Amino acid sequence: MKTSFVYLLRSMKDGKFYLGWTTDLKRRLEEHNAGLTRSTKSRRPFELIHYEAHLSPELAKKRERTLKRCPRMLYLFKKRALNKGAKEVVGDPTTSPKKRGFIRTLVSEGTKEVVG
């Protein structure tokens, strides 16, 4: 299985968000910022706001589709990502697998604690 990611970007130009999935997060962010993605070319540069790691591309695609089709879930996803008290990032799914295929690690002032 190949680790895949669902990610949330924010345009530094207009402040709007972009949600997507990929198997290589660093490469995909570079593509967005280089203008190689048609849908985001005019809104660059972007900053990575949040991402979730999934154990397979199928799970990442399903999560992205769910977030894009359910406005309330997308709202909560953005709210969690923009939480001012703590920033959520994703832990390594190969070291502590969870039921749904992704892991969240809460990072607050440099200390890590597993949330789940």
Whether 103 is covered by a domain: the verdict is no
In a domain, 14, yes or no: yes
pLDDT value at position 99?
43
In degrees, rounded to 5, the angle at the alpha carbon of residue 35 between the alpha carbons of residues 3 and 11 is 80
Structurally, how many domains does the chain consist of? 1
Q: Would 104 be classed as within a structural domain?
A: no
- The beta strands (E) that lie in the chain are given as 4-11, 17-22, 46-54, 87-90, 104-108, 111-115
CATH number at residue 65: 3.40.1440.10
Q: Which of 31-35, 39-43, 48-52, 103-107 has the lowest mean pLDDT?
A: 103-107
For the whole model, what pTM was predicted? 0.72
The arithmetic mean of pLDDT across residues 6-18, rounded, is: 95
Query: Does residue 63 form part of some domain?
Result: yes
pLDDT tens by residue, 53-77: 999 999 999 999 999 999 999 999 9
Angle at CA of residue 8, ends 81 and 63, nearest 5°: 95
Flag whether 98 is in a domain. no
For residue 66, being part of any structural domain is answered with: yes
The range of the structural domain enclosing residue 15 comes to 4-84
